[in-house]
Chains A and B, each alone.
Chain A
């Protein structure tokens, strides 16, 4: 009851006209920043926070602004992924898989509007989750030790089995290349530098953002170059801008499932939106079986990662609010921002400053509604991006990608590295290696090795630690189920056939 009371109070604060205006502004800026590759919530927050100070906004208004920017970025990341095949942020990598084919088929409007609704569903379900289960989930997040993380990665890899498709060796190779790229840099257990070739610039390894922008943005530029000359016309957005009821129904359960899964994964510090979106995408692909056109513009393949990555973004607020531990790079920045207002997120936040917490949660709800309302009419505008001629569009993409990398690293070395990776990605693409597998290998690689070795450091080398806790046992079982699913489906189909026969 108390919860409800606080929440209502939060809504009361968040719906004041000036706060609504601030939320609208934040949502807009967030969307724009989010759609620029490389720039994300970190830049959005960094940009607006000084403004909030300059205008002397009270803490709750500043928080609303933060929440709106954060959400806006999560919405924005999908736009360039769908329209240009260039993910606006790392979590949108999976969105490109089916979003871009949809756009090529002239269904950009449908893809944009449906993904907006998926994002909305994901965020709303996750926010409800935060309201209802925050304290409970804090316990769940804490229960995840290195051993559990390792098994979670095994589970994730088992899910990825769905990606293998018709070229298993190439997919495997691609994933291995990703895993190998992740080993560059300091070994976080022993401090040994691996594959740095004596360069300090590589001492922290290759940053994720460089890999994503290199592999997607730069290699996409090269592909576009080819298409420009081979006379392939750029597609124009045509037909409906909005999805219809049938399409909504077809993706409804996908959204719900992916939102829940994304939320749960998002609450784990460090696991993050990329893994959540990948896992849900693969799971949906498995569930759809041969009935899906995943990879060629299946709406479910669009809805799943979008719902999951938004849900996970909201979920990652739980460790931040309840434990004071950043669940992601963005929440780290938010913690910094909160501390400027003398608010220290941590175990006491819910007790000591309920108005702040509930104000934030209420503004998440409101921010979402604003974003949905704002995004639907903008679909037409965004999809017109496709009719910008290539000789303007492509240079713009390359410049923005450069700035995206430069913003986080400020060294030309990383820019050169990005181009190198882009060329490498282009070659891989030409040779038919799936790039998304490389990216996922890269994300999973570091977490997997580190956590395995951490677990073994804890147990002094005993392997038993990997299946000691109930959580890891469950995850092993789920992983086994994932691997067995195609077999099960085949068995069921055979049975059905036999029944039909008899």
Chain B
């Protein structure tokens, strides 16, 4: 069922992408293939594969388990929120918040998660920015450093 659904979506996507790919035209090219042929070939093959799976999806044991799907969505949202606040709040703060939330999602208890969140924000910042020389955004903390 899910494979069928996926294949149908993928088929539509391939069709849409093919329309876009049709527009790939170079002012001129030195090779006979050009920028368009290869993506179109791939899309055609993928459509064929999708069609196949649409009719013969095979057996799949996976069942959609609603609560766990909900949690997965929550987890993805947490990660997204993390990423989007990464630069604005700065690494330390956004990491602390995100790890706290993730910890709770992974059945951690409130206090230990809060502690590990703060620790991770600070320690990983130290590890990466100061020790490993990976520049990370300071965000809100910038004000403290500037002054």
Contacts and interface: CB of A to CB of B under 8 A. Distances in A.
Q: Is B a genuine binding partner of A?
A: yes
Nearest to B88: A412
Interface in B40-63: 42-43, 45-46, 49-50, 52-53, 56, 58, 60, 62
Contacts of A221: 75, 79
A407 B129 CA distance: 10
Contacts of A194: 21, 24, 35, 39
Contact of B52 (A43, A169, A423): A169
Contacts of A50: 133
Contacts of A452: 33
A402 B45 contact: no
A457 B76 CA distance: 45
Given A176-B49, A456-B31, A229 B83 contact: no
B21 A395 contact: no
B134 A190 contact: no
B62 to A, nearest CB: 5
Contacts of A47: 131-133
A450 to B, nearest CB: 10
A321 interface: no
B49 A403 contact: no
A449 to B, nearest CB: 5
Interface residues on A, range: 35 or more
B141 interface: no
Contacts of B21: 194-195
Interface stretch (A251-259, A301-309, A374-382, A384-392): A384-392
Contacts of B30: 189, 457
Contacts of A43: 132-134
Interface residues of B, number: 68
A279 interface: no
Given A33-B132, A192-B35, A431-B6, A225 B99 contact: no
B20 A195 contact: yes
A376 B30 CA distance: 54
Interface of B: 2-3, 6, 17, 20-21, 24-26, 28-35, 38-39, 42-43, 45-46, 49-50, 52-53, 56, 58, 60, 62, 65, 67-68, 71-72, 75-76, 79-80, 82-84, 86-87, 95, 98-99, 102-108, 112-113, 116-117, 120, 124, 128, 131-136
Interface of A: 33, 39, 43, 46-47, 50, 167, 169-170, 172-173, 176-177, 179-180, 183, 187, 189-192, 194-195, 218, 221-222, 224-226, 228-230, 389-392, 394-396, 398-400, 402-403, 406-407, 410, 412, 415-416, 419, 422-423, 426-427, 430-432, 449, 452-454, 456-457, 461
19 contacts: A47-B131, A169-B53, A169-B56, A194-B21, A224-B106, A225-B72, A225-B106, A226-B68, A229-B71, A230-B68, A391-B113, A402-B86, A406-B134, A412-B86, A419-B79, A419-B83, A430-B2, A431-B6, A461-B31
Chain A to chain B: the 4 pairs with minimum beta-carbon distance, closest first = A391-B108, A190-B26, A395-B99, A395-B102
